[in-house]
Chain A
Amino acid sequence: MTEAAIAVVGLRKSFGKTAALRGLDLTVPAGTVCGLLGPNGAGKTTAVRVLATLAAPDAGSARVNGFDVVRQAAQVRRSIGLAGQHAAVEEGITGRDNLRLIGRYHGLGSRGARSRADDLLERFDLAEVADRLVRTYSGGLRRRLDLVASLVTAPPVLFLDEPTTGLDPRSRQEIWDAVRELAEGGTTVLLTTQYLDEADRLADAVAVLDHGTVIEHGTPGRLKAAIGIRIEVTVAQAAQLDTAVRVLADLAAGVPVADPAERRVEVTSGAGRTIALPQLVRELDAAGVSAQDVALRTPSLDDVFLALTAAPGRAAR
C-alpha cells in the first residue's frame, strides 16, 4: 500500500470572511486511527466536511482512499462512512429499516441490504431494539445506530465527528469498543473529539488543530513526552507565591502559572527534563518557601492541549 488513506496538503476553506482552514496538512496511514483534537472553531468539523465531500475546499488538495475529494467525489463517497455530531438517523422508522434503506442506497439490493442490516444489528448488539422506532431510542442507542449506519458498506475510511459528545460514560465505552473493533479490522478512522482521553484511548496518532492548521502531530505518548513532567506546588502563605514562581522558572522549561486563590503554582518541565522530588523540595526550602504540597504528575493529553493552544503565535509546523 503506497498511498495513505487520507492525504491532505495545504487545505484552505473560508466561509465568507471567516477562515476555517488555513493550510491544513494531514496524513493518515491506512488502517490507523487518527484523532483530530482542537478547541471549538479550530476547523475540525470543516476538515471532516471537506474530506467527506460535503464542502468544497478553496485551495489545497485532499485525497481519501486514493481519490481526490473534488474531482473524484463519487469514488470518495463510495469509500467512506460518516457519523456526525448528530445522530443522523430517521426517527419515524425502525433501526432495522434505517440500515436497510442505507444498504439500498449503496446498491446492495433489497435482499443484500436486508441481510447486511441483520448482520450489523447482531454484531453491534442492536438486534433487540432493531424493530422499535428510533424515536423511542435513548441518546446512546441512537448514536450507536448512527455509527452502525456509517458501516453498512464496510467503508475503508470512516469519519467520526465527535462521536461521543453528550453521551453517558457507559455509552461512550460502547462506542469506543466499536471503534476499536473496526480499527482492528483494518478500517482507517479519522476521529474528531474534544475529549482528550478519547483520543488517548483510541488514536494511534493525534493531530492538534488550532485556527485551521495542525500545530502538533504525533503519537499521544510523544506529545506528552514533549511537555515533560507536570509540577504542582502549593505554598503555605500567599506571600511566598512569587518566590515559588521564581524557583520553578529556574528549574523548568515551561512558564509557571500562579493561582493566588489556591496558593498554587503549576509548570511543565519541558521535553527530556527530569526533575526529582528531593531536588525540588531542597530548592524551595533554600529559597525560604514552605511548601504545603508538592506533586509531580505525568501530563495528560489535556495538559498537552492546553500547553499547545495557550501559546499564542506559535508557528505552525
Chain B
Amino acid sequence: MTTTATTAAAPAATTPGRRAGPVSDTLTSALRVLLAYRRSPGLVLASLAVPVAMVLVFGYVFGSAMTVPGSGNYREFLMPGLFVMVAVNGLMPTMVGAARDVGRGLTDRMRSMPVSRSALLLGQALADLLVGVVVLVPLTLVGLAVGWRIRDGLGPALGAYGLLVLFRSVMTWVGTYLGLAAGKEEMAAQLSVLTFPLAMVTNAFVPTGGMPGWLRTVAEWNPISAVVAACRRLFDNPGAVGEAWPVQHPVTATLLWSGLLLAVFVPLAVRKFASHGR
C-alpha cells in the first residue's frame, strides 16, 4: 500500500495496482456526483427553482383559466402532475451529463481503470436518486403553501413518494442510456427537448377527457400518466381518472411500467458504457 502511494513509478515487474471492489466503486461514483453538487450551489438552487416556477406558471397563469371536472381546485389537481414532471425532468441533466462524459473522454478514462462498469453507473444513479429525494421536500412545502393537501393519511402518501422516487430512477437509467448513445453534449441537449412533448401529452396538466380520442389513448397509455394518476389516488387529490387500463389501475401500472423500463434500459446502459467505441 505504501509502495503504491509513494513510489514515483515502477518498472514492469511490479505488482499492478489493486481494485477497490464494487461497493467502494459505487460509493466513489456517487461521491463524484454529490461533490459536483456541493461545489456548485447554483446547480442545487436551479433544480429547486424550476419546480417553484412551474407551480407559479401552471398553477396561477394556466390555472386562472382552468376548471377541474368535478369540483376540485386546479392547483391541487396540478401538484401530483408537477411532482412527476420534476422526476421526469431528472432525465435531461443525466442525459446531457452522460453525453458530456463521453465527449470529453471521462468515460474512456473510467473504462481504462480497474473499476466495475455497473458499479460506476449504479453510483451515479444512486446520487441522482438522492438529489431527487431532496428536491421533493421544497416541492412539497410549495405545494402545501398553494393549497395542495395530503388527504388520505401518511401511509398512502409515503407510497406516492416511493413511486416518485422509483420513477425518477427509471428516468436516470433511460437518460444514462440515451446520453451514452448520443455521445455528444449538443446532440443530447437537442434530444432532451423531445422530452417536452412526451411530458405534455399526459394527464399531468389537463384531464385527458377533453382530448381527441386518439390523443387521449396515447396520453392515457403514457407511463407518465400512470404515475400522475397513482399520485392523485394516493394523495387523494381531485381529477377525472380516464378510461384506459393504466390510469384505472395506476399503482399497478406504475410498478409494471417502471419494472419494464428498468429491465430494458439498465442492461442497455451498462452494455453501452462497457462497449463504447470498441
Contacts and interface: CB of A to CB of B under 8 A. Distances in A.
Contacts of B46: none
Interface stretch (A183-191, A201-209, A255-263, A302-310): A183-191
Interface stretch (B34-42, B151-159, B172-180): B34-42
B17 A185 contact: no
Greatest chain A CB density within 10 A among B5, B20, B40 is at B5
A187 to B, nearest CB: 4
Contacts of B31: 101, 104
A156 B14 CA distance: 8
A54 B108 CA distance: 7
A154 B13 contact: no
Nearest to A111: B5
B84 to A, nearest CB: 27
Contact of B21 (A102, A107, A149, A185): A107
A147 to B, nearest CB: 12
B114 A106 contact: yes
* Interface residues on chain B, size class: 35 or more
Interface string B237-278: 000000000000000000000000000000000000000111
Interface residues of A, number: 58
A94 B113 CA distance: 20
Tell me whether chain B's interface is mostly helix, strand or loop, or mixed. Answer: loop
A291 interface: no
B146 interface: no
Interface of A: 1, 3, 5, 30-31, 49, 52-56, 65-67, 74-75, 77-80, 82, 84-90, 92-94, 97, 101-102, 104-108, 112, 115-116, 119, 133, 149-151, 153-157, 181-182, 185-188
Interface of B: 1, 4-14, 16-21, 24-25, 28, 31-32, 35-36, 39-40, 43, 103-106, 108-115, 276-278
18 contacts: A3-B12, A5-B11, A30-B12, A53-B112, A54-B276, A54-B277, A56-B278, A78-B19, A79-B17, A84-B105, A88-B104, A88-B106, A92-B39, A93-B36, A97-B39, A101-B35, A108-B1, A149-B109
